[in-house]
């Protein structure tokens, strides 16, 4: 988790800490799940998740009509248990 937060601060300082914390609540999430006080737009949520995917933090897959993102670090941590 610390590595993910460090990469976010270096490469994406515009993404708030609260948003990064939300991606560690569940291994899979959709752009709608990170919308809230800080992110009001679905397009902004998609943009942030795509940027995290480009950094190797997230991995996307299409399920039905929706794109779902996998938090790679959290998934690997949970699979070790």
pLDDT at 31: 92
Name the 3-class secondary structure at 35: coil
Choice among 7-11, 33-37, 67-71 with the minimum mean pLDDT: 7-11
Q: Look at the chain and report how many structural domains it folds into.
A: 1
Which of 11-20, 24-33, 59-68 tops mean pLDDT?
A: 59-68
For CA atoms 30, 35, 41, 47, give the dihedral sign: negative
Residue 31 domain boundaries: 2-80
Mean pLDDT within 45-55: 89
Q: So what's the pLDDT on residue 40?
A: 87
pTM of the model: 0.78
Q: How far apart are the first and last CA of the chain?
A: 16
C-beta separation of 18 from 11 below 8 A:
no
Length of the chain: 81
User: What Å distances lie between residue 14 and 9, 20, 26, 47, 50, CA to CA?
Assistant: 8, 11, 22, 12, 14
Task: Name which residue leads in pLDDT, 67 or 4.
Answer: 67
| CATH number, domain containing residue 33 | 1.10.10.10
pLDDT at 9: 54
């Amino acid at each position: 988790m610390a590595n993910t937060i460090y990469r976010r601060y270096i490469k994406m300082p515009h993404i708030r800490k609260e948003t990064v914390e939300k991606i560690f609540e569940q291994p899979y999430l959709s752009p709608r799940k990170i919308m809230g006080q800080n992110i009001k737009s679905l397009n902004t949520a998609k943009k942030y998740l795509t940027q995290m995917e480009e950094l190797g933090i997230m991995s996307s897959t299409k399920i039905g009509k929706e794109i779902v993102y996998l938090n790679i670090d959290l998934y690997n941590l949970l699979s070790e248990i």
